[in-house]
Structure formats: structure tokens, C-alpha cells
Amino acid sequence: MRRWLGLTQQQFDIVKVIYRVGNRGLVSSPKVVQREYRLEHGRLIIKPNLFNILRILQQKRVVRRVAQGEYALDYEGVSKIMVAARVRLEGEREELDKTSGQVDQFFREVTYSKEHPDVNYLEGGELYGALAEAASKSLVFWATADFPLTAYSPELAHAAGASRFVEALQQKLVDKKTSVNLLTGLSTDSLFNDGFRAHGDPKNAYRVIQNTVDRLATQVSSSGNLDVRYSDAPVGLDIAIAETQQPSEFILLIRDEHNDIRGGIRVRSHKTAANALRSFQKAYSQAVKLKSPQGKEILREVKSDIQRKYGILEDEN
């Protein structure tokens, strides 16, 4: 259930405490919630953190304040979240079927190709090294991205384990010898997670990700060889394709159960890379250019989304 509500484990633990306290006929005040949480989990949650979690839970409509200093489960809000999650899951299932078919086709091509492609599995560190190498040698570089890494600071890049790759992409924007084409869903959650890993503090992470969106907007406007496109639909395979005189290398990114990128498969094959590029370009052609007026409006909406989700952190003392 935690996954569908979009909560962290600690947030979900607080929700369960409020529910149990209410069922016992007690007043779910912050003091009682703090005490019960300590009894259940064997550790203290400090008041500033608890109040922050309670504000976030109210904002998400998972809990509501029923009286001064008293909280309860927001059944109506939770019901709406679960309905929305069900709709989203059905869409994800359709996309999974589509992506599964693409993966099957990809491996059939690799297996039966007369070209005998060179196929290698890449661990996390190796993956970003391979991506950096592919970007560095390409004349045209195509890739999907949760959030465009071109806008990452050195600290964010290090936290994501992608320093070499980010440096390679940013160098390409400077020397202007390579066209960099990115398809992204502009995920603020993945961006915030990297910001938190980089700085270890939610307030700093909030400020950093705001600056990162601003940096992306500047790059999109000023870099003639960067074309970032936004799609609000799942993009299917997570891929990167290096194109020299023709598509030559295809890297399929692999995610774990938490949706984090953990490795990849590199295929050196003109035919397979060309097929992957055709599939990528179909989704790419239907996405919104961030250089366009509509794209600029989307970037403004992303900043507003960040403010709604994480701006509450600025209110903490």
C-alpha cells in the first residue's frame, strides 16, 4: 500500500501509528504519535521531523487535522489516491506489455543477427563509463533520462554515480561538435533523491533542484546542439544510442525494484542500433520540444510542482 500512496517508509509508519491510535480511542496528538512511534520502532522521531511529515501527509491528503493538535486518517483522500493509482497501474501494465515486446524483439535480433554483435553486461560504474565513452565519440547522441543530466552540478553527478557521463555530455554542449538529443519525463522525484544524496539535507536538496531546473532552462535556450523533449507518457526502454556515420552502439539501461539504474547491456551492432534508434525516434518525434513556448511552460510547471512538493521544507525552523 505504501507504494501506491507515494510515501516513504517513515511517512507510512507514521500513518499506521495514527490509524492504530485512533482505533484505540486515543487522541492522535503529535505527542502521542511520537510516543507510540518510539514504542513500535525503538527510536525517537524528533518533533521538527514529525511536524514536517504531518504537513506532507496533509498535503498528500493521507491524513487530516480534525482538531487543534489532533490528526486522523483521511479516508476520502486515501480512496482518491488509490483510484488514481489503479488507473496509473493499468497504464503501466499496457506500457510494460509494449516494452516487453520491444525487449523480446531486441534479443531476437541480437540472437539471430548475421552481424554477430558484440554484447556486454555493464555494472553500475562500468555503465556510466560506457555512456561517457559513447557520448564522447558520437556525432549524434540519443538517450532517455528521468531528468536531463546535462543540467547536473558536479555534486549531483557524483551522487548519481554518473560524474564521467555528465562531464562528457557537458563537454559536448561546449564544443558543439555533437548533437545531444534527450527524451525525458522531467522526474522531480529522481532529481530530489539525487539532491538529497548529494547534500544530506532536504532544505539544501530543495534549493539545489530548483537551481538545476533553472540551469536546464538556460541550456535549452542557449545550446544550439541540445534538443530536450518532454513526454508525459512512459518512454518504454531506457536507452542510449551513439551515432557516428551511422548508429553504431546501443546501451539498454537496467533498473532494480526501486526503479534505480543499476547496470546495462551494451550492444555494438549497426543493425540493432539502427532498429533501436527508429523506435526511439518515433517516441521522440511525438514529444514536446522544451525550446518551444509549450516546452517553456512545462518547465515553469515543473518548478511549480517542486514548490508544491518540497516548498514546505522552507517553512521549517
Tell me the C-alpha distance between 257 and 169, whole Å.
28
Backbone angles phi, psi at 138, to 5 degrees: -85, 155
Q: What is the pLDDT of residue 106?
A: 57
Q: What is the pLDDT of residue 215?
A: 96
Q: In this predicted model, what pLDDT tens digit does every residue of 104-143 receive, in sequence order?
A: 555 555 555 555 567 888 887 789 999 999 999 999 999 9
Q: What is the pLDDT of residue 307?
A: 85
Q: What is the pLDDT of residue 317?
A: 45
Which CATH fold would you assign to the domain 113-315? Endonuclease; Chain A (3.30.870)
Quick count: other Cβ atoms within 10 Å of Cβ 67?
10
Asked whether residue 86 carries a pLDDT value surpassing 60, the answer given is yes
Q: In this predicted model, what pLDDT tens digit does every residue of 20-31 receive, in sequence order?
A: 888 888 888 889
What pTM, to 2 d.p., does this model score?
0.66
Answer whether 69's CB lies under 8 Å from 30's CB.
yes
Q: In this predicted model, what pLDDT tens digit does every residue of 225-239 receive, in sequence order?
A: 999 999 987 566 788
Answer whether 177's CB lies under 8 Å from 226's CB.
no
Asked whether residue 220 carries a pLDDT value surpassing 90, the answer given is yes
Q: Which residues contact 39 (CB under 8 A, 6 or more apart)?
A: none
Comparing C-alpha atoms, which of 223, 268, 264, 234 is closest to residue 250?
268
Q: Which residue has the higher pLDDT, 311 or 224?
A: 224
Backbone angles phi, psi at 112, to 5 degrees: -105, 5
What's the angle, vertex CA 31, arms to CA 74 and CA 59, rounded to 5?
30
All cell numbers assigned to 37: 512511534
SS3 of residue 263 by DSSP:
strand
Q: What is the pLDDT of residue 52?
A: 86
Q: What mean pLDDT is predicted for residues 238-262?
A: 81
Under the banding of pLDDT at 50, 70 and 90, the label for residue 217 is: very high
Tell me the C-alpha distance between 154 and 126, whole Å.
19
Asked whether residue 151 carries a pLDDT value surpassing 50, the answer given is yes
All cell numbers assigned to 171: 563537454
Answer whether 254's CB lies under 8 Å from 266's CB.
no
Q: What mean pLDDT is predicted for residues 174-199?
A: 90
Q: What residues does each domain of the chain span?
A: 2-80, 113-315
Q: What is the pLDDT of the chain when averaged over all its residues?
A: 84
Comparing C-alpha atoms, which of 229, 302, 276, 284 is closest to residue 110?
276
Q: Which residue has the higher pLDDT, 253 or 116?
A: 253
2-16, 98-112, 130-144, 236-250: range with lowest mean pLDDT: 98-112
Which CATH fold would you assign to the domain 2-80? Arc Repressor Mutant, subunit A (1.10.10)
Q: What is the pLDDT of residue 274?
A: 86
